[in-house]
């Protein structure tokens, strides 16, 4: 009798456990009624989008939710062109292959530049010979054929001392790497292989700050946060121009070239028409970027540019101004007037 009772209890316990487990997975699946805007893409744009998303949620008093992911510009475009996300963060313009993907799924988009990203060339604070460098010299140091050959500073410029060059830079997965190679070596992703690469810019800062012959590049925000550890180098575009240090002024007026570029968000047409909050969010983004970009240590675009693109957004001007490839030395003022391609 006793064993019979025990068996019963055991059985019901087992049954309960199974029931609970089944419930867990069968659980009625109703789509969330709360309005959600999905943003994904570049981690370079992330801090700005995070700031805008945070403010936008406060602004709409929690009626609209915004989520932001960091799949990278390429990974993000894959999702965006499948129609999975509403807004795409991009540290470079959309590429031809991604345009094709979007066209295949009938995803049209509005391209909106939201801030500047400036690359800074930095060196060890005790470095006395490098206060400015030309783009040609940068190319001599970084180009693919320099691998194993250019090892000392005096090989680049005879005025510089015979001290070994120790190079640091972002790894090949970052948009910063793509842009630097394109702007300096004139070919995206073409670079010497014998330098210390890291996907984490803070590691590059550490490396350069501990190496007397250190030289490297990364986003300007990382220099701003580590001013006491590293030294900024002015960049001279060509023989005719002056050497310019990156600063909000020199980036905004276009004199810090070729190492500054705009970063973008892409807004999906489908989301714009199906969810009114997406338009509201995009407008909010353009209206508040001046304030928020500065707050997250990015460089804002001139007010006129934001206004021009807000007009483009309202007029539903779809497509990209770049025709499917990255571009070095963009003049931000004329960008909004370009003809667009899908």
Partner 1 sequence: MRKSPMKKDKNRNNIMAKDPILAKHNKTEKLIKSKNIKDQLFYLFGFLILVAASFILFALISDLFIRGASRLNFDFLTHFPSRKPEAAGILSAWVGSLAVMLVTSSVSLVLGVMTGIYLEEYAPKNIFTFLIELAIVNMAGIPSITFGLMALGIFVYQFNFGQSILTAGLTLGLLVLPIIIVTTREALKSIPNHLREAAYSLGASKYQIVRDHLLPYSSGGILTGMILALSRAVGETAPLITIGALTFIAFLPTPPIQSTPPFVSFEWLWDGFTVLPIQMFNWVSRPQEEFHINAAATGAILLMLTLILNAGAIWLRYKFRKRYHW
Which residues lie near partner 1 (CB under 8 A)?
A: 10, 14, 21, 23-25, 27-30, 32, 34, 36, 40, 43, 46-47, 49-51, 53-54, 57, 62, 65-71, 79, 199-202, 219, 221-222, 224-226, 292, 295-297
Name the 3-class secondary structure at 62.
Answer: coil
- Sequence-distant contacts of 55-64: CB under 8 A, at least 24 apart: 55/284, 55/288, 55/292, 56/281, 56/284, 56/285, 59/284, 60/277, 60/280, 63/34, 63/35, 64/35, 64/36, 64/37, 64/277, 64/280, 64/281
* % helix, strand, coil for the chain, step of 5: 40, 20, 35
234 touches 131 (CB < 8 A): yes
Minimum CB–partner distance for residue 267 and partner 1 (Å): 18
Identify which of residues 107 and 165 has a Cβ nearer to partner 1 in the complex.
107
Minimum CB–partner distance for residue 284 and partner 1 (Å): 15
What is the C-alpha to C-alpha distance for residues 115 and 113, in angstroms, rounded to an integer? 6
Bridge partner residues of 42 (DSSP)? none
Minimum CB–partner distance for residue 289 and partner 1 (Å): 13
Minimum CB–partner distance for residue 34 and partner 1 (Å): 8
Identify which of residues 220 and 244 has a Cβ nearer to partner 1 in the complex.
220
Identify which of residues 39 and 150 has a Cβ nearer to partner 1 in the complex.
39
- Sequence-distant contacts of 158-161: CB under 8 A, at least 24 apart: 159/129, 160/129, 160/130, 161/129
Spacing of C-alpha 83 from chain mean position? 21
Minimum CB–partner distance for residue 93 and partner 1 (Å): 23
Identify which of residues 296 and 340 has a Cβ nearer to partner 1 in the complex.
296
Identify which of residues 1 and 32 has a Cβ nearer to partner 1 in the complex.
32
Identify which of residues 34 and 240 has a Cβ nearer to partner 1 in the complex.
34
110 touches 312 (CB < 8 A): yes
Rg (CA), the chain: 25
Minimum CB–partner distance for residue 83 and partner 1 (Å): 13
Name the 3-class secondary structure at 41.
Answer: strand
Identify which of residues 200 and 334 has a Cβ nearer to partner 1 in the complex.
200
Minimum CB–partner distance for residue 50 and partner 1 (Å): 5
Minimum CB–partner distance for residue 37 and partner 1 (Å): 11
Name the 3-class secondary structure at 35.
Answer: strand
Identify which of residues 299 and 335 has a Cβ nearer to partner 1 in the complex.
299
């Amino acid at each position: 009798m006793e064993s019979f009772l025990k068996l019963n209890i055991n059985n019901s316990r087992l049954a309960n456990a199974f029931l609970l487990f089944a419930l867990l997975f069968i659980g009625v699946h109703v789509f969330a009624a709360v309005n959600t805007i999905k943003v994904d893409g570049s981690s370079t744009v992330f801090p700005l989008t995070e700031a805008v998303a945070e403010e936008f949620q406060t602004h709409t008093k929690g009626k609209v939710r915004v989520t932001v992911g960091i799949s990278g510009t390429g990974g993000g475009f894959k999702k965006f062109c499948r129609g999975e996300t509403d807004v795409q963060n991009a540290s470079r313009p959309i590429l031809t292959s991604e345009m094709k993907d979007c066209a295949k799924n009938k995803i049209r988009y509005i391209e909106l530049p939201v801030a500047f990203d400036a690359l800074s060339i930095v060196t060890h604070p005790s470095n006395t010979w490098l206060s400015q460098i030309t783009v040609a010299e940068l190319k001599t140091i970084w180009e693919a054929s320099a691998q194993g050959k250019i090892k000392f500073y005096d090989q680049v410029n005879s005025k510089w001392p015979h001290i070994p060059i120790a190079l640091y830079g972002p790894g090949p997965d970052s948009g910063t790497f793509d842009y630097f190679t394109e702007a300096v070596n004139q070919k995206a992703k073409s670079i010497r292989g014998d330098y210390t690469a890291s996907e984490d810019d803070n590691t590059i800062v550490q490396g350069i700050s501990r190496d007397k012959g250190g030289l490297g590049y990364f986003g300007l925000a990382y220099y701003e946060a580590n001013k006491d550890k590293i030294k900024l180098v002015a960049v001279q575009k060509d023989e005719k121009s002056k050497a310019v240090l990156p600063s909000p002024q020199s980036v905004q007026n276009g004199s810090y070239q070729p190492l500054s570029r705009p970063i973008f968000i892409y807004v999906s047409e489908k989301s714009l028409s199906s969810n009114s909050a997406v338009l509201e969010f995009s407008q909010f983004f353009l209206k508040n970027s001046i304030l928020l970009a500065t707050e997250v240590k990015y460089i804002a675009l001139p007010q006129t540019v934001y206004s021009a693109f807000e007009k483009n957004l309202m007029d539903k001007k779809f497509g990209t101004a770049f025709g499917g490839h990255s571009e070095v030395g963009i003049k931000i003022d004329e960008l909004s007037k370009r003809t667009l391609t899908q």
